[in-house]
Amino acid sequence: MSVQRDASKFRDGASPIGDEEGHRLDRELAMLQSRSLLQSGRLQQLAALADFQREALDAAAIVAVTDRAGRIKSVNAKFCELSGYSESELIGANHRILASGEHDRAFFQNLYRTISRGDVWHDVICNRAKCGRLYWVDTTIVPHRDRSGYTAIRFDVTPQKEAEQRLWRLANIDPLTRLANRRRFLELMAVATCKGLPFATAILDIDHFKDINDSAGHHAGDQLLVAVGEALRAELGECDSIGRLGGDEFAVILHDEDGTQLQQRLDSILVALQRKPVSGVEDCTIQASIGAALFPQDGKDAASLLKSADLALYAAKQSGRACARRFKPSYREAADQRAGLRVAISHAMERNELFILYQPIVNLAGDQPMAFEALLRWRRNDGSIQTPATFGEVFEDEQIAAEIGNFVLTEVLGQIDRWKAEGVPFKWIAINATLGDFRARAFIDRIADAVESGRISGEQLCIEITEGMLLDRGAKAVREAVDRLNALGVEIAFDDFGTGFASLTHLRQLPINHVKIDRSFIEAICVDGKDRVIVESVIDLAHRLGLKVVAEGVEQDAQARLLRRLECDSIQGFLIAPALTEALATDFVRRDGGG
């Protein structure tokens, strides 16, 4: 076989192979072109989607791009709309242009530390618009992968934040004074104790606030409370915490107070209150009592500190009010004794250890039946007999006071029934009433029932009141009760006259029938010219007002003779008789006569 022929065979066989390969290449080329078209379409779709997402984000969010130094490179329209700044004012500026002052340094240190290491940061930021308005934005800051800067995406959450703040204020702020309420103040105290630094807590109570409410109206009372809040803010500033615990009771936290300047600071508060005018209320001087306690020596938590401060407040009130007292351990001991006494007196009522004695009140002219004062006594387990002077503090518990008052009234009404039935002559029996009696409407209701049913006549019962009852929170209840008793014909006596500050005012305002001169003016009446002048003046004044006068604590004939010359109506004391049991009192009347 020749070479030429072999080559011919090769040439003749090559053509079919080339055609097949070409077709394959054509097919692959077509496929590539098709894929390219598909990818191009896909890219266009992705680009369109990206544009849509960008437009959607731009429409819904507040977007800004900054460089690594925090300078603004671009902002969208919503950024300008919410901030109040134009795009030209923002480009090149730092985000600090929006600083509100609502966040501390640690907040921003955490922000910059997070994005500087390439992590996404998210939180809510309060910004200040160009006009000064505060607005809140939910913010996400995303670092760029090439570390060229950051993109911040924000959403306006101001309405939600304002709603949260309104709810927080409702839960934590007193609406009248704008001070922390009790709940919030306790939280502030808990925070202060956790820090472990020394501080003082003081409780402040407005003296005779109820009287102002009753005499000038609740609006005046509200204005006074607002004035107290303003005075405390002005005196203490923003460094110390102030709260209204409720009613007319306020509290403050005096930070960095170790006790060395405490009394001085408390006295300054009292002076600031006295100088504070009350809007819309004339001639109103704010007076308060303050009790204070120190952390940690007087209490290691909020509850124990407030308890100690409250005990000091009690001491301030017992000292005459309008003063400040710092807690002493003896206050807690006294409180424990009072608590024990309240328990003991409750048990005494259950065991019938309380009883009534009757002390005669004799008319000096001898032309009227004898009257009596019902005096409460307590027979203890050891056989000793105690007077209210030894357990009078239990009457501060109005529930116990009301129970005792109910017991006394029951005994006296029963005594009136028995003496009437036995024909024993007497003018009236006097009861020493308490605030608890007048606040418990059942006491007055029982008297009204007894009079209106004909069981007793009104003039057979006398209710004694003291000035202290008219200077405290129950003054309105006392006045209302006295008016009702007077309408029933019940006698009203003003006890311990001359020992208070406003007795003459009460004589003019209240339907009083009798004035009882306190024994402190009678003791030296025969040797002390001033006491004699006072007693003579009281008798003359009372008679000019149409009132009868009873002198208490008469123990000597000379005292009785002088009081008769001064035209005192009646006397009471050991000269006549001590407090007597029912049987002895009955015999005393029958032996000495009813007039």
Domain assignment of residue 313, given as a range: 173-327
Number of domains in the chain: 3
pLDDT at 24: 66
- Name the token pair of 106: 């640690």
418 and 556 both lie in a single domain: yes
Q: pLDDT tens, 400-448?
A: 888 899 999 999 999 999 999 999 999 999 999 988 888 878 999 999 9
CATH classification at residue 301: 3.30.70.270
- Closest to 393 (Cα-Cα) out of 353, 341, 438: 341
Q: Which amino acid makes up residue 123? A: D
- How many other CB atoms are found less than 10 A from the CB of residue 168? 11
User: Would you place residue 142 in the very low, low, confident or very high pLDDT band (cuts 50, 70, 90)?
Assistant: very high
CATH classification at residue 145: 3.30.450.20
User: Would you place residue 10 in the very low, low, confident or very high pLDDT band (cuts 50, 70, 90)?
Assistant: very low
pLDDT at 501: 53
Average pLDDT of 108-118? Answer: 94
Last residue of a domain, one of 162, 186, 217: 162
Residue 71 gets which letter from DSSP? B
Last residue of a domain, one of 162, 190, 211: 162
User: Residue 578, preceding bond cis, omega within 30 degrees?
Assistant: no
Average pLDDT of 350-358? Answer: 94
522 and 459 both lie in a single domain: yes
Instruction: For Cα atoms 365, 531, 546, give the angle at the middle one, nearest 5 degrees.
Output: 45
Percent of the chain with pLDDT over 70: 88
Residue 393 gets which letter from DSSP? G
381 and 520 both lie in a single domain: yes
323 and 178 both lie in a single domain: yes
State the average pLDDT for the chain: 88
pLDDT at 3: 43
Does residue 280 fall inside a structural domain? yes
Q: Is 246 helix (H, G, I), strand (E, B) or coil?
A: strand
Among 193-197, 289-293, 538-542, which range has the highest average pLDDT? 289-293
Strands 429-432 and 570-571: unpaired
Task: Tell the residue number behind the tokens 């009287």, with chain if given.
Answer: 211
Does residue 489 fall inside a structural domain? yes
pLDDT at 279: 85
pLDDT at 423: 94
Q: pLDDT tens, 41-73?
A: 555 555 554 454 455 566 678 999 999 999 999
CATH classification at residue 552: 3.20.20.450
268 and 212 both lie in a single domain: yes
Does residue 7 fall inside a structural domain? no
User: Would you place residue 7 in the very low, low, confident or very high pLDDT band (cuts 50, 70, 90)?
Assistant: very low
Does residue 11 fall inside a structural domain? no
User: Would you place residue 13 in the very low, low, confident or very high pLDDT band (cuts 50, 70, 90)?
Assistant: very low
- The answer to whether residue 334 scores a pLDDT higher than 90 is no
Q: Edge-to-edge, what's the strand order for the sheet holding 149-156? A: 72-75, 62-67, 149-156, 134-143, 121-128
Average pLDDT of 117-144? Answer: 95
- Closest to 520 (Cα-Cα) out of 506, 540, 500: 500
Last residue of a domain, one of 294, 327, 360: 327
Q: pLDDT tens, 556-591?
A: 999 999 999 999 999 999 999 999 999 999 999 988
311 and 215 both lie in a single domain: yes
Does residue 370 fall inside a structural domain? yes
Q: Which residue has the higher pLDDT, 200 or 37?
A: 200
User: Would you place residue 452 in the very low, low, confident or very high pLDDT band (cuts 50, 70, 90)?
Assistant: very high
Across 21-25, 46-50, 75-79, least confident range: 46-50
- The answer to whether residue 356 scores a pLDDT higher than 90 is yes
562 and 413 both lie in a single domain: yes
Percent of the chain with pLDDT over 90: 66
Q: pLDDT tens, 482-535?
A: 999 999 999 999 998 866 555 677 788 899 999 999 999 999 899 888 989 999
Average pLDDT of 381-394? Answer: 87
- Return the bridge partners of 206, or none: 288
- The answer to whether residue 345 scores a pLDDT higher than 90 is no
Does residue 299 fall inside a structural domain? yes
DSSP code per residue over 427-477: S-EEEE--HHHHHSHHHHHHHHHHHHTTSS-GGGEEEEE-HHHHSSTTHHH
585 and 442 both lie in a single domain: yes
96 and 230 both lie in a single domain: no
User: Would you place residue 469 in the very low, low, confident or very high pLDDT band (cuts 50, 70, 90)?
Assistant: confident
pLDDT at 8: 46
CA dist 189 and 299 (Å) reads: 11
464 and 361 both lie in a single domain: yes
Does residue 24 fall inside a structural domain? no
- Closest to 257 (Cα-Cα) out of 296, 214, 226: 296
Q: Which amino acid makes up residue 520? A: S
312 and 392 both lie in a single domain: no
Average pLDDT of 227-256? Answer: 92
Long-range pairs of 74-82 with CB within 8 A, sequence gap ≥ 24: 79/154, 82/129, 82/135, 82/137, 82/156
DSSP code per residue over 298-342: T-SSHHHHHHHHHHHHHHHHHTTSSSEEE--HHHHHHHHHHHHHH
Residue 351 gets which letter from DSSP? T
270 and 396 both lie in a single domain: no
User: Would you place residue 100 in the very low, low, confident or very high pLDDT band (cuts 50, 70, 90)?
Assistant: very high
Does residue 535 fall inside a structural domain? yes
Separation in Å, CA 317 to CA 207, 216, 275, 391: 9, 23, 21, 18
